[in-house]
Amino acid sequence: MIKFIIKRLVALIPVLLGVTLLVFFILDLAPGDPAKTILGEQARPEDIAALREEMGLNDPFIVRYGRYMFDLVQGDLGTSYKTRDPVGEEVWARLPNTITLALTSTVVAIVLALPLGIIAAIKQNTLFDGISMFISLLGISMPVFWMGLLLILFFSVKLGWFPVAGADQGIRSLVLPSVALGFMHMAAIARTTRSSMLETIRQDYIRTVRAKGLPERDIITDHALRNALIPTTTVIGLQIGQMLGGSVLTESVFAWPGIGRYMIQSIQGRDIPSVMGCIIVFAIGFALINLLVDLIYGFIDPRIKAQYK
Amino acid sequence: MSSVTAEKGNGQVSVKKKSQLADVWKRLCRNKTALLGLVIVILLVLIGILSPIIFDYETQVIKTDYSSTLQPPSAAHPFGTDELGRDILIRTLYATSTSLSIGVVTVVVALAVGLVLGSAAGYFGGKVDMIIMRIMDIFLAIPGTLLAICIVASLGNSITNLVIAQAVSAIPKFARVVRGAVMTVRDSEYVEAARAIGAKDTTIIFHDVLPNSLAPIIVQTTLEVATVILSIAGLSFIGLGIPAPRPEWGAMLSASRSYIRDYSYMCMFPGLAIMITILSLNLLGDGLRDALDPRLR
């Protein structure tokens, strides 16, 4: 198991190198002179030239990338053009907010999706099946930012139950963003749970336990669910990745002080190092989540665990 | 691609050529929700084609009219007007053409590149496969929305850059699907036969392999149009999408944020438009998946 984890972590290194190179390359294409951004349009040309030299902007691409990576492995994400503060600190301060939102919305998604998917499968082709699949289709089709706006409209503006934006009211602030983001991801999880549950309850071993006279409830919870949940776990993992993208929009709708919102603000301010830092952190997070999902399979499915050795 | 079936009719034996396409169409027609999706998609395409013809862009779509700002829905303006006095119904309809055309163009570009990369990787295997797919893995290691944001943030938000950004995030997905599809038919006997009579690799790929791997590619294409439209709306919502004043659903929703307290109707119709579009494309995509591959049912 440990060997497997180490192997996977090592395999992450070339991917992350590729990701950083790709992101660094894309953001390097951005027009405009960073030195000018920092000093302002009125700055004297010699000052700009001096700052360019000091920041190493005149070096070739590969040298700048090497320097960035050298700093990155030491945990340094560069310096913001706008505030001249270390990007790492800015991102670090906002990371807990983004993680909290991702976790709570994952919980919302799972809590909504599992019952919907399981009951839809057990009661296949009934009205309940139809309704729950329609709800999950809505989840796929509704943009998260529109869902957010509607939630704000009804629960904040009309009913006044939750704050419109921000994060200063504790759990009350967290409810609407989590529901908006979670609802969007509920859909895929519910659909996968339904189809894998349908497949599982038709298997021979389920027929066997049913023949043995086990109550239907125990058949589902003790025997079917465990096997049916393997594809669900995969989708939850994939969804968390998508959730990172969705969280940028959700944080923007609810003015949630996370990395996504910081990234948008940085883009508007043309603060390239901050944008870079945010995307790198998202990409590392995405890779680690995928690894975590792979490990969780092992706990659910001993057949997969056997392959880890 | 056609099968010959003998059918008995009126006591006579007739040989009828039944194309696979007709088969797929028949199965699609049996699926009511897929058919509903198809009908809505056709309607949306019609709206997309007709609204630039019916409405004058300069005077009806983008012209500000300070005498009629923020009017709630009425007979003159069924969806109301926005903060600049523009008719929300006309803008919502007009935005259909923007979203659909960008969605389709992006997917065509991504499909073309994905086809070449995916079929090369799937057909040749070995080193070619490894190099192409490792590069694709790197693109897939960044969530699509973030990659698109990154590209638009760097290049600036024009329609061309938006297409590039979305296409780049979609290419790996197509490459993967195409590669998988190609690999399943690569070793079949008719491909071997084509190779035996000395057909060139490109001929085999485009003539023999791809036509037989179309099903998953068609499904992915339909679903990807939905993803791209949703993603463009998202980018426009955070100010990185279609530049103003061209109407776009996400941008319209973004503008409605400041008026949500008193003019909540503003945030209804563009959102509904996105939802209906994505819903119908998803219904159609799911239906096509079932119709194209009956085994998956």
Nearest residue of chain A to residue B276 (CA atoms):
A141
pLDDT at res. B12: 52
Integer Cα distance of A254 and A256 in angstroms:
5
* Choice among A23-32, A104-113, B77-86, B283-292 with the minimum mean pLDDT: B77-86
pTM, to two decimals: 0.85
Higher per-residue confidence, A63 vs A238: A63
pLDDT at res. B294: 58
pLDDT at res. A6: 86
Q: A2: alpha, beta or left, given left = phi > 0 and alpha = psi -120 to 50? A: alpha
Would the CB atoms of A145 and B237 count as touching at under 8 Å? Answer: yes
Which of A281, A113, A101 minimizes the C-alpha distance to A183? A113
Would the CB atoms of B154 and A141 count as touching at under 8 Å? Answer: no
Interval A124-149: pLDDT, tens: 888 888 888 888 888 889 999 999 99
CB contact, 8 Å: B78 with chain A?
no
Would the CB atoms of B141 and A18 count as touching at under 8 Å? Answer: yes
> Each residue's pLDDT tens digit in chain B (297 positions)?
344 444 444 545 555 556 777 888 888 888 888 899 999 999 999 999 998 888 888 888 888 888 877 788 887 888 888 788 788 888 889 999 999 999 999 999 999 999 999 989 988 888 999 999 889 988 888 888 888 988 998 888 889 999 999 999 999 999 988 898 888 888 888 888 888 898 888 888 888 888 877 888 888 898 899 999 999 999 999 888 888 888 899 889 988 888 888 888 888 899 999 999 999 999 998 888 888 875 544
Nearest residue of chain B to residue A155 (CA atoms):
B261
pLDDT at res. B4: 43
pLDDT at res. A109: 92
CB contact, 8 Å: B285 with chain A?
no
CB contact, 8 Å: B258 with chain A?
no
Task: Give A-chain residues touching B234 at CB under 8 angstroms.
Answer: 143-145, 249
Of B138, B153, B279, the CB nearest to A267: B153
Interval A271-308: pLDDT, tens: 888 998 998 888 888 888 888 877 777 777 777 666 65
Task: Give A-chain residues touching B135 at CB under 8 angstroms.
Answer: 18
Contact B261, B279 (CB under 8 A): no
Would the CB atoms of A22 and B139 count as touching at under 8 Å? Answer: yes
Rounded to a whole number of angstroms, the distance from the CA of B181 to the nearest CA of chain A is 21
pLDDT at res. B172: 92
pLDDT at res. B96: 92
pLDDT at res. B7: 45
Dihedral pair phi/psi, residue B237, rounded to 5°: -60, -40
CB contact, 8 Å: B142 with chain A?
yes
pLDDT at res. B186: 81
Q: Crossing angle for the helix pair B214-237 and B88-124, nearest 10 degrees?
A: 140
Task: Give A-chain residues touching B145 at CB under 8 angstroms.
Answer: 242, 245-246, 248-249
Would the CB atoms of A142 and B275 count as touching at under 8 Å? Answer: yes
ipTM of the prediction greater than 0.90, yes or no: no
CB contact, 8 Å: B16 with chain A?
no
Integer Cα distance of B201 and B207 in angstroms:
10
Please identify which residue in the block is written with the tokens 């909504």: A112
pLDDT at res. B13: 54
Mean pLDDT of chain A: 85
Contact A293, A232 (CB under 8 A): no
pLDDT at res. B39: 95
Task: Give A-chain residues touching B239 at CB under 8 angstroms.
Answer: 264, 268
Question: Is there a cis peptide before residue B245, judged by omega within 30 degrees of 0?
Answer: yes
Nearest residue of chain A to residue B165 (CA atoms):
A26
Asked if pLDDT for residue A118 goes beyond 60, the answer is yes
What's the average model confidence in pLDDT over A60-73?
A: 88
DSSP state of A154: I
